[in-house]
A and B are shown apart, each in its own frame.
Chain A
Amino acid sequence: MRGFLAALLLTVGAIPASAQWVDFRTPGIPRKPDGKPDLTAPAPRGPDGKPDLTGVWNGPVPDTNFDPAIAPSWVNDVIRQRGQDYHRGRPLYQCLPNGPEADRFAGWKRLLQTPTAIAILNEDLTYRVIHMDGRELEANAAPSWMGYSVGRWDGDTLIVDSNGFNDKTWLSRYGQPHTEALRVRERYQRKDFGHLQVEVTFTDPKAYSKPWGFTAQMALAADTEMLESICERSSDQWIGSLSDAANAAPIVTQDMLARYVGVYNGMYLTNKRTIEVSLSGGQLVAKIIGAAAIDGGEIRPLVPRSQTLFEGLGIGYQFIVDDKGMATDLVEIHNSGRSRFPRQR
């Protein structure tokens, strides 16, 4: 059980924090007759006529759709090993900056735009700067956690090119490594007052045979304020691995597993969440569906810890059963507490 509990710490950094003031009225934003923020009003522009991205933004974790076929075997080995270790080496879990990681495009952030620089301020108190003063990328930038970024306007699209990353950061929480040769291109479009879209492309010929990326969507967080979410406890002391867990797993019969298959619906913090539990090759798997997904909806295998308690990538799943062994509820257990999801079907 010690390994199990330790592993549950893994989700500390994955908790979508409701990290905002509740009752703050953002000054200077367009409002409807009823006083609510008009998020479909035109995007604001600065004195230079360029779109102004300044504001507090929030969005879900983007789905990276990573294709392992574009990675050589050493990269896929690294990804597999990191999964085995509950991703405890993830920079964020070690209280280190997450650099270009796809998950950085989710969550709360404040953008501050001046004609010569744009700062992106994250809720974990890290930040990055995009230089807008016309400078070029450095040919030989000193490797750093956040990289070296220069931006320019292409019509109403902000195009940001970055290099100079160290190789300690990941490209997503699932452990895709990169080398110092990484280049990142971002294309920002503020489509209207309340919506910001970012297309991100990773190019690293030393690790991937072709560029890959994703699109992130952010919504303006109006009438609220961003609060800090600081990593105070590194993952150094996590113990155990997935194979430890599998080796210690008790046997749960296929018949019992079949009684847990279903769709469970509930609230996680303030967000609706749906968990689909199914059988895949004799193993129970869980998939989180919907906008509140912490993981873009990928499958997590559930390793039994008892007949009703399972572990899936560091989250505990407890099935509440009736007297026939049929699950009525699924309880998700992690560091932020327990969330109960009644079975829908």
Chain B
Amino acid sequence: MRLFLAALTLVVTTTPALAQWIDRKTPNIPRTADGKPNLTAPAPRGADGKPDLNGVWNGEAPQARPEVAELQPWVMDLARKHQQDYYKARPAYLCRPSGPEAEKFGGWKRILQTPTAIAILNDDLTYRVIHMDGRTLEANPAPNWAGYSVGRWEGDTLVVDSNGFNDKTWASRYGVVHTEALRVTERYRRSDFGHLQYEVTYTDPKAYTKPWSFKSDMRLGADTEMLEAICEKSSDEWAGTLSDASGTGVTVSPEKLKGYVGVYRGIYSGKERTYEVSLSGNALIAKILGDDVEGGLGAAGLDDGAPRPLMALSDTVFEGLGLGYQFIVDDKGVATHMIVVHISGPYKYARVK
């Protein structure tokens, strides 16, 4: 059970935090006749005529998955190894800065823009600075966590080039590493008052066969305030690996497993979530249906479509990639509910078919 509980801590930092004040009116923003923020009003501009990105922003963690062919084999091998280890070496789980990690573009952040510098302040109290004073990238910057970033305007699009990353951070939470040769290009466009689109491209000839990128967007966090979400407990003490887990699994008869096959629906952090549980050979598989896989809770890593096997810890309790799954059964052994257990608490999903 020690292994099981340790593994559950994996999800500590993936809990989507509802981290804001509830009812403070943001001053000086355009409002509709009924007093609500007018998020489709034109984007504001600064004294220099450039779009002004100042504000509190929030967005889903982007779905940033490089194709396997875009990664050099050693990077893919390392990604699989990180998956085996429950991603416990992910910098955010070690309470370290996430650097250029794709998922860092999701979540709460405040942008502070001056003519000479833009700061992006994250809710984990880390930040980065984009120099806007006309300087160019350093040829040989000291490698660091947040990198070294310079920005310029191309029309109404902010183009940011970064280098100078150390090789301790990941490019994605799915264990995709990078080298110190990494270059990141970001393009930001505030299309209207309430929406900020961005596109991020990773170029690292020492790790990737070609540049890969993703697009996503953020919404203005109006009439609210960003709160801190600090990592206080590192993953140093997580124990076990996926293969440990399969090695210690108990055997549950195929008849019992059949009783758990079905579709379960419930609410996770304010949103409806549906799990499909099926049998593949003699292994039970759980899969989150739909694209609401915020923070990757249900995702099995880069091989997203791959089966996510549940190891049996008892007749009714299973473990799958760091989450606990408990089936509540009726007197015939047929599941009526599934409870997904992690550090933020148990979540009950009723069987719908």
A residues contacting B by CB (< 8 A) are: 21, 24, 27-28, 47, 54, 95-97, 110, 112-114, 116-117, 119, 121, 125-127, 129, 133-135, 138, 142, 144-146, 227-228, 230, 232, 234
Q: A96-B232, A112-B112 are in contact. Are A125 and B121 (CB under 8 A)?
A: no
CB proximity of B231 to chain A, nearest CB, Å: 9
Question: Which 10 pairs across A and B sit closest by C-beta, in order of nearness?
Answer: A228-B144, A127-B127, A144-B228, A126-B125, A125-B126, A27-B133, A119-B112, A133-B27, A112-B119, A119-B119
Docked complex Cα distance between A302 and B113 (Å)? 49
Check B1 for interface membership: any CB of A closer than 8 A.
no
Q: Decide if B112 touches A114 in the complex (CB within 8 Å).
A: yes
Closest to A133 in B: B27
Docked complex Cα distance between A119 and B122 (Å)? 12
CB contacts (< 8 Å) of B113 on chain A: these are 114
From DSSP, what is the main secondary structure of chain B's interface residues?
loop
Closest to A110 in B: B129
Docked complex Cα distance between A126 and B227 (Å)? 14
Most buried by B among A24, A28, A47, A230: A230
Q: Decide if A27 touches B119 in the complex (CB within 8 Å).
A: no
Per-residue contact bits, chain B 167-208, to A (CB 8 Å; 1 contact, 0 not):
000000000000000000000000000000000000000000
Most buried by B among A125, A129, A228: A125
Check B97 for interface membership: any CB of A closer than 8 A.
yes
Contact of B125 among A24, A145, A230 (CB under 8 A): A145
CB proximity of B283 to chain A, nearest CB, Å: 38
CB contacts (< 8 Å) of B116 on chain A: these are 27-28, 54
Docked complex Cα distance between A121 and B21 (Å)? 23
Docked complex Cα distance between A146 and B234 (Å)? 20
Q: A114-B113, A127-B127, A133-B27 are in contact. Are A230 and B96 (CB under 8 A)?
A: yes
Check B49 for interface membership: any CB of A closer than 8 A.
no
Docked complex Cα distance between A144 and B228 (Å)? 7
Q: Decide if B95 touches A95 in the complex (CB within 8 Å).
A: yes
CB proximity of B136 to chain A, nearest CB, Å: 11
Contact of A125 among B54, B110, B135, B146 (CB under 8 A): B146
Check B145 for interface membership: any CB of A closer than 8 A.
yes
Q: Decide if B127 touches A121 in the complex (CB within 8 Å).
A: yes
Docked complex Cα distance between A112 and B111 (Å)? 11
Most buried by B among A24, A110, A126, A146: A126
Closest to B147 in A: A228
B residues contacting A by CB (< 8 A) are: 21, 24, 27-28, 47, 54, 95-97, 110, 112-114, 116-117, 119, 121, 125-127, 129, 133-135, 138, 142, 144-146, 227-228, 230, 232, 234
Q: Decide if A145 touches B228 in the complex (CB within 8 Å).
A: yes
Q: Decide if B125 touches A97 in the complex (CB within 8 Å).
A: yes
CB contacts (< 8 Å) of A230 on chain B: these are 96-97, 144-145
Docked complex Cα distance between A227 and B95 (Å)? 19
CB contacts (< 8 Å) of A135 on chain B: these are 24, 27
With contacts A126-B126, A146-B228, A230-B97 known, what are 7 further pairs, Cβ within 8 A?
A27-B116, A27-B134, A96-B230, A112-B129, A117-B112, A129-B110, A227-B142
A-B contact pairs, 10 of them (CB 8 A): A54-B114, A54-B117, A112-B117, A114-B54, A114-B112, A114-B113, A119-B119, A146-B125, A227-B142, A227-B144
CB contacts (< 8 Å) of B232 on chain A: these are 96
Q: A228-B144, A228-B145 are in contact. Are A121 and B119 (CB under 8 A)?
A: yes
CB proximity of B170 to chain A, nearest CB, Å: 16
CB contacts (< 8 Å) of A145 on chain B: these are 125, 228, 230
Docked complex Cα distance between A134 and B26 (Å)? 11
CB contacts (< 8 Å) of A146 on chain B: these are 125, 228
Docked complex Cα distance between A142 and B232 (Å)? 17
CB contacts (< 8 Å) of B125 on chain A: these are 97, 125-127, 145-146
Q: Decide if A116 touches B54 in the complex (CB within 8 Å).
A: yes
Docked complex Cα distance between A119 and B155 (Å)? 27
Q: Decide if B230 touches A127 in the complex (CB within 8 Å).
A: no
Q: Decide if A144 touches B227 in the complex (CB within 8 Å).
A: yes
CB contacts (< 8 Å) of A138 on chain B: these are 21
Closest to A126 in B: B125
Contact of A47 among B27, B47, B97, B121 (CB under 8 A): B47
CB contacts (< 8 Å) of A27 on chain B: these are 116, 133-135
Docked complex Cα distance between A114 and B232 (Å)? 31
Docked complex Cα distance between A142 and B134 (Å)? 40
CB proximity of B198 to chain A, nearest CB, Å: 20
CB proximity of B147 to chain A, nearest CB, Å: 10
Closest to B95 in A: A95
Q: A110-B129, A116-B54, A144-B228 are in contact. Are A129 and B121 (CB under 8 A)?
A: yes
Docked complex Cα distance between A54 and B119 (Å)? 12
CB contacts (< 8 Å) of B21 on chain A: these are 138, 142
Closest to B228 in A: A144
Contact of B114 among A97, A114, A134 (CB under 8 A): A114
Most buried by A among B27, B110, B127, B133: B127
CB contacts (< 8 Å) of B114 on chain A: these are 54, 112-114
Q: Decide if B127 touches A119 in the complex (CB within 8 Å).
A: yes
Q: A117-B112, A121-B129 are in contact. Are A234 and B234 (CB under 8 A)?
A: yes
Closest to A54 in B: B114
Docked complex Cα distance between A129 and B54 (Å)? 13
CB contacts (< 8 Å) of A117 on chain B: these are 54, 110, 112
Q: Decide if B97 touches A125 in the complex (CB within 8 Å).
A: yes
Q: Decide if A228 touches B146 in the complex (CB within 8 Å).
A: yes
CB proximity of A98 to chain B, nearest CB, Å: 11
Q: Decide if B133 touches A28 in the complex (CB within 8 Å).
A: yes
